[in-house]
Amino acid sequence: MKTGLVFILSVSSLIVVSCGEQKARTTGDVEENLKAKTMLQGIWMNEDDESLTFRAKGDTIYYPDSMSIPEYFKIIGDTLMMGSPNDLTTYAIVKQTPHLFEFKNQGGDIIRLVKTEDPSFLAQFEQVKKSVLNQKKLIKKDSVILYGSDHYHYYVQVNPTSYKVVKDAYNSDGVEVGNVYFDNIIHLSLFRGATQVFSKDFYKKDFASLVPSQVLRQSVLSDLQYQRADASGFHFMAYVVVPDSPTSYLIEITINLSGRMQMKV
């Protein structure tokens, strides 16, 4: 009996050790391909049109387009992975040498890049410029409205901010990039004579119940315009817009004579 028990325990120990070794090998399989990552360091151009594609430095990819934010990258096996550390987009590597890099973009096309040693291209990867959708300056709009026997005065102020909005896009090589824009805060005040009827600063988040979250995340609050006045109140239109896209949401803001607000798409 003792001999049988020792044998069983020995076999169990071997199984545990074997599983541990298998787990180690599996873990090792997903370690970074440091040789491939080292070869990718430098400035790369599209071989077809000789346009700059990206610069790999350390674990970051930089783009010559000032609108596109730098991205983290790593190489696992024969796969290039780019994006934020928790949200990586994968690209299959077709061929790689110290001066040639071929990979499949999101559309399945093979992109062929060649490395350039020309140091004059370095300046094009400096992230010193900012491309914005907001107006870069304070915009004020106001007008007097005669409704019934009263004079009303509305005041709109569009305030540009440094709040970043990152929009998902694809560059000319079919690589997913994040383009940076900047949001606005818009102030609206409404007066009846000298009496303030309504006052509010509008942020993009104020429209979260009316705009899908995925759209809102990539949108900016672009503008707010007066439309009309009727028995239900004063109507304004807020523009929530995805930059460089036909996608936009027009939100009607109605302020009644008592200063209560309603919003609808």
- pLDDT above 80 (res 26): no
pLDDT-derived band at 3, boundaries 50, 70, 90: very low
Mean pLDDT score, 78-103: 91
- pLDDT above 90 (res 158): yes
pLDDT tens column, 105-157? 988 899 999 999 888 888 787 654 443 445 566 788 999 999 989 999 999 99
Domain segments of the chain as ranges = 30-125, 139-264
Q: Output 169 or 80, whichever has higher pLDDT.
A: 80
β-strands 52-57, 79-84: how paired?
A: unpaired
Q: Is 23 helix (H, G, I), strand (E, B) or coil?
A: helix
Q: Quote the pTM value.
A: 0.59
pLDDT-derived band at 28, boundaries 50, 70, 90: very low
Q: Domain 30-125: give its CATH code.
A: 2.40.128
pLDDT tens column, 191-230? 999 999 999 999 999 999 999 998 999 999 999 999 999 9
Q: Is 13 helix (H, G, I), strand (E, B) or coil?
A: helix
- What is the full DSSP assignment across 79-101? EEEEEETTEEEEEEEEEEETTEE
Contact present, 148 and 193 (Cβ < 8 Å): no
CATH topology identical between 30-125 and 139-264: yes
Query: For the chain, how many residues are written?
Result: 265
Contact present, 197 and 235 (Cβ < 8 Å): no
The percentage of the chain sitting over the pLDDT mark of 70, rounded to a whole number, equals 84
Contact present, 102 and 110 (Cβ < 8 Å): yes
User: Which of 153, 224, 227, 159 is CA-nearest to residue 190?
Assistant: 153
**What per-residue string of b and e applies to 8-22 under the rule 16 or more CB within 10 Å gives b?**
eeeeeeeeeeeeeee
Under 8 Å CB-to-CB from 148, ≥6 apart: which residues? none
Contact present, 161 and 182 (Cβ < 8 Å): yes
CATH class of the region 139-264: mainly beta
